[in-house]
Structure 1
Amino acid sequence: MRQFLTLLTCCVGALVGLAGCQSAPLAYAAPHQAARSPAPAPLPDSLRLTPVPAVAELPDTLRQAIGQLHRDLGPAAAALRPAVLEQACVGYLTLHPTGRIERGGLLAVADMDLPNTTERLWVIDLAQRRVLHRSLVAHGQGSGHLRARRFSNAEKSACTSLGFYRTSGTYGGIHGYSRRLQGLDKGQNMNAFDRYVVLHAADYASPEYVRQHGHLGYSRGCPALPPEQYKQIISTVQTGSLLLLSGPGLASRWLDGPAAGRRFARRGWR
């Protein structure tokens, strides 16, 4: 009950403006006393996840292989929804032979439909069938409060952009070690590079921030990472790796079931 009231308080807290892509967290006002009510008001952000459609025309052999991969990943991937992993795997298998993704055997996926209080980013070693990293990840201020519900590719939208990304080079930014991202989905995230949507650290993306406020803070669209983990994650997803930011309304030309099936039949996850 205490966790529910904390979450309710955080969900109705006032939003304040943020400046820059790596922006400050939202202000938070602690309640003086928990209100007693026999029927609490519903949360502004529903915790009911949006169903993820299955990839069309995906061969049964590949769907079964993805299901086995999910099982092999074990408890570290228990919260990774099978349909989201399916999207990520299909995109990987479709993109890799095009030359847009140079680094094989590695896949990063974030389910932005999950609440930002959960570790919703996974970095997966496909060859070894294990989770290398799992962490919190922030979404953009314009995308919603507890969960990301609105997505945009537009400048100054402060929104997260859904779709597949290629990791690019690193640089020393406002928050130190950061990695550029290139959007691969026309109409959904192609402006990411120009918007400086990057992987970087942020204090408001930390477990401590969640403990204090009941939710993460917000970026200007960047998938911001916990200060305790960002260096390892950024170093692992080297240039040419694939990252999927999944969420409601994801539409991508790379979710090509037949093409992914043909690739997997020829080379597996290599």
Structure 2
Amino acid sequence: MTVLNCCLRTFLPAAWLLAGALTACQSTVGEPAAGPLAAATPSVALVAADSIKTASTLPDSLQLTPVLPLPNLPDSVRQAVRALQTKLGPEAADLRAAVLEQACVGYLTLRHAGRIQHGGVLAVADMDLPSSEKRLWVLDLEAGRVLHHSHVAHGRGSGHLRAHRFSNVMKSACTALGFYRTQDTYGGKHGLSRRLHGLDAGQNSNAESRYVVLHAADYVSASYVQQHGQAGYSRGCPALPPDQYKAIIKSLPEGSCLFLSGPGVESKWLNTEAAAQQLAARGWR
């Protein structure tokens, strides 16, 4: 990102930052179309004090939240992840090493546990990056190449340019972090869509009830991002660009792994021992 772009995005007019807030994603029946500020302060009756995770940094600061390397990660896994990142090349230059490490460990652990049936492909979204940036990668792990690299929206309850609030709660309009298994596809109001099943209890396990799916949205198009300086907001869905969504959805067949990374993400699937066992037994398959 150039210094000029950083400055422009830091001082974007408020009207630009709020643009697209009324564009709806799939949601529960009867959910009001509240704006981003209303969604950011859900009622006490709906949200427990610890049900929303908030980053310590300012909402629209471009300073990323540090991601620490996983402790006690066997050298075999660490070296395999480093080799993978090298093979991925320049298209994955903005995919932070620690985020890729978490994604790979979770993927391997889920494969070891039989929770991910389709191996060899992994989708990673670093939701700590601003929505002005392409922050979703779909990776072919065995070939070591980037299949797709695109913008992806966060929920309007999660913040403006930067997502800093995450929730699993109904009607929060927030993005929920963690590991997901892709489900079946259907034709919805946004065209081809793929259902998602949250695999982290308490963190994204309400995904199906909240109708969190992969789908297309005009507010994630390149022209929208160029005009407004950022993507628009969903109601919690990782919405995709209209010119890429079909290819991305088809590259993640039912039973594939999607990881939404962000500040405060926690997962029981970050099991370094199980990941090492899976890698030794089957590699990235």
The 3-state SS of whatever aligns with 1:243 is strand
Kept after mapping to 1: 8 A contact 2:134/2:151 = yes
Choose from 235, 260, 265 the match for 2:275. 260
Alpha-carbon distance, 1:15 to partner: 3.6
Q: Percent identity?
A: 63
Structure-2 change in CA distance of 1:202 and 1:260 (3 Å): same
- Mapping for residues 55-74 of structure 1, pairs under 5 Å: 55-74=70-89
Q: TM-score if structure 1 supplies the norm length?
A: 0.89
Aligned to 1:21: 25
- List runs of 5+ in structure 2 lacking aligned partners: 28-32, 37-57
Amino acid at match of 2:9: L
How far, CA to CA, are the matches of 2:4 and 2:112 in structure 1?
50
- List runs of 5+ in structure 1 lacking aligned partners: 28-42
The 3-state SS of whatever aligns with 1:227 is coil
More displaced stretch, 4-13 vs 182-191: 4-13
Report how many aligned residue pairs link the two structures: 255
1:109 correspondence with 2:111: no
Amino acid at match of 1:83: A
How far, CA to CA, are the matches of 1:8 and 1:86 in structure 2?
29
Alpha-carbon distance, 1:19 to partner: 6.5
CA offset digits 1:70-124 (Å, max 9, x no partner)? 0011011111001000011001110012221110101000000001111100000
Structure-2 change in CA distance of 1:169 and 1:45 (3 Å): same
- Mapping for residues 161-176 of structure 1, pairs under 5 Å: 161-176=176-191
Amino acid at match of 1:69: L
Structure-2 change in CA distance of 1:54 and 1:2 (3 Å): closer
Alpha-carbon distance, 1:7 to partner: 2.0
- Mapping for residues 1-270 of structure 1, pairs under 5 Å: 3-4=5-6, 6-10=8-12, 12-13=14-15, 15=18, 18=22, 20-22=24-26, 45-270=60-285
How far, CA to CA, are the matches of 1:226 and 1:73 in structure 2?
22
CA offset digits 1:142-179 (Å, max 9, x no partner)? 00111111000000000000000000000111111100
CA offset digits 1:164-212 (Å, max 9, x no partner)? 0000000111111100000000010000011000000000001111111
Alpha-carbon distance, 1:60 to partner: 1.3
Kept after mapping to 2: 8 A contact 1:133/1:233 = yes
Structure-2 change in CA distance of 1:59 and 1:202 (3 Å): same
Root mean square deviation of aligned Cα: 2.2
Kept after mapping to 2: 8 A contact 1:56/1:256 = no
Amino acid at match of 1:230: Y
Alpha-carbon distance, 1:18 to partner: 3.2
Kept after mapping to 2: 8 A contact 1:163/1:189 = yes
State the structure with more CA Rg. 1
Aligned to 1:40: none
